[in-house]
Amino acid sequence: MTVRQQAHTPEDISPSTRRLLGPGPSNVHPRVLQAMAKPLLGHLDPEFLEILNGVQRALRQLFSTQNRFTLPLSATGSAGMEACLVNLLEADDRVVIGVNGVFGGRMADVAARAGAKVTRVEAEWGLPLDEEAMVAAIRSEMPKVVAFVHAETSTGVCQDPQAIASAAREAGALVVLDCVTSLAGIPVELDRWGIDAAYSGSQKCLSCSPGLSPVSFSERALHAVATRSTPVQSWYLDVGLLDGYYGGERVYHHTAPISAIYGLAEGLALVSEEGMEKRAGRHREAAAHLIESLAPLGFSPLVPPEHRLPMLTTLRLPESVAKQGEANVRRNLLQRHGIEVGSGLGTLAGQVWRVGLMGENARPESVDALRKALESELSSDH
């Protein structure tokens, strides 16, 4: 019988407590969950608008930007990506996209679906983009938009945005940066780097529930949207329409996800209480502890140290894991120890794991729990 005998009642929903050490979501702080359980307000209630103002101010601070148009989009990180690209690109516009993992590839797909002429600048998975190749493509294409990923979660590579962003600006292009995994884990400085549109996600280093995508558009980017020759093809993601609600006027566009925004407000408060510098240090220390702790078991990092992300470490698997089947070991980690780690993607599938130490999970306890669980799973008496 595959058909359920009984209808679900609320009592049926009793998820296990997991350590979410994959590529996201990460575990939320209890204060975030408590915030999400607070009474609902209407999306035009002055009390709610005060909370929203606070979230927008905190996001500007975290993105290090003066951008007025900075808000939590009501959707996941992929919608933030789509919002940046479909607003800035029209049919036949040229765009140069750096692709060294899944998310650069997703950007290229989104841009192509928007009818743009996409130039993909590929780099090996596990390495950063080749800045010279990006700059050469920018100078020869003279695109409207240049887009790339700050923290490539599919490989664990960190991209320094500065050289590519300044070459793009020199060529008159708008710069789009994926900050889904970087925001609240390593410093993000949109204004200093000259980024025109950026997006993130609530469930990675912000340690909130999935479902919100912080986005930020510069005045240049807003001007480019305002002077399009065709309307933005997405009604929901049209920044001109979104600005009616998230800008000063506060007119209805869609119903803001009130409870999720309470959670994000609390998550942002936790970031500011800790301070970004300390938080980034905590992520770096956790990653170093991870690499050191798993080395005796035969795990070794894929990415060279100077390009490694702290919040997502890609580890080559030892023979002991391969022998049991890496998917079996991951399943046992989950079912026997309550620990989730991420599999390899694309060309790295079966060869690596992706261990996320994001936000609340970037602590020695997470690493020690994973090490203990692995020691027990990989010991010879299994």
Binding site for ligand PLP (CB under 6 A): 24, 76-78, 81, 103, 149, 151, 153, 178, 180-181, 201, 210
Q: Report in angstroms how near the CB of residue 302 gets to ligand PLP at its nearest.
A: 16
**Cβ–Cβ under 8 Å, residues 103 and 178:** yes
Question: Which CB atom, from 58 or from 151, has the smaller least distance to ligand PLP?
Answer: 151
Question: Which CB atom, from 78 or from 166, has the smaller least distance to ligand PLP?
Answer: 78
Q: Report in angstroms how near the CB of residue 178 gets to ligand PLP at its nearest.
A: 5
- Identify each DSSP E strand in the chain by its residue range: 19-21, 69-73, 94-99, 117-122, 145-149, 151-152, 157-158, 174-178, 197-199, 213-217, 300-301, 312-316, 339-343, 352-356
Tokens of 24: 């996201």
Q: How many Cβ atoms are within 10 Å of 163's Cβ, its own excluded?
A: 15
Q: How many Cβ atoms are within 10 Å of 11's Cβ, its own excluded?
A: 6
Residue 336's identity, in one-letter code, is: R
Name the residue whose CB lies closest to ligand PLP.
Answer: 77
* 167-181 per-residue burial string, b: 16 or more CB within 10 A, e: under 16: bbbebebbbbbbbbb
Q: Report in angstroms how near the CB of residue 137 gets to ligand PLP at its nearest.
A: 21
Query: DSSP string covering 311-378, please?
Result: SEEEEEPPHHHHHH-HHHHHHHHHHHH-EEEEEP-GGGTTTEEEEE--GGG-SHHHHHHHHHHHHHHH
Question: Which CB atom, from 216 or from 293, has the smaller least distance to ligand PLP?
Answer: 216
Q: Report in angstroms how near the CB of residue 11 gets to ligand PLP at its nearest.
A: 29
Backbone angles phi, psi at 2, to 5 degrees: -100, -10
Question: Which CB atom, from 141 or from 178, has the smaller least distance to ligand PLP?
Answer: 178
Q: Report in angstroms how near the CB of residue 350 gets to ligand PLP at its nearest.
A: 20
Q: How many Cβ atoms are within 10 Å of 4's Cβ, its own excluded?
A: 8
Q: Report in angstroms how near the CB of residue 211 gets to ligand PLP at its nearest.
A: 8
Expressed in percent and rounded to 5, the helix, strand and coil fractions of the chain are 45, 15, 40
Question: Which CB atom, from 24 or from 263, has the smaller least distance to ligand PLP?
Answer: 24
Question: Which CB atom, from 194 or from 342, has the smaller least distance to ligand PLP?
Answer: 342
Question: Which CB atom, from 186 or from 321, has the smaller least distance to ligand PLP?
Answer: 186
Q: What's the gap between Cα 199 and its chain centre?
A: 8
Q: Report in angstroms how near the CB of residue 212 gets to ligand PLP at its nearest.
A: 9
- Measured distance CA(328)–CA(2) in Å, rounded: 24
Question: Which CB atom, from 85 or from 373, has the smaller least distance to ligand PLP?
Answer: 85
Q: How many Cβ atoms are within 10 Å of 31's Cβ, its own excluded?
A: 13
Q: Report in angstroms how near the CB of residue 322 gets to ligand PLP at its nearest.
A: 26
300 bridge partner residues: 316
At residue 250's C-alpha, the angle toward residues 245 and 253, to 5°, is 40
Cis peptide leading into 128, omega within 30 of 0?
no
Q: Report in angstroms how near the CB of residue 76 gets to ligand PLP at its nearest.
A: 3
Question: Which CB atom, from 55 or from 179, has the smaller least distance to ligand PLP?
Answer: 179
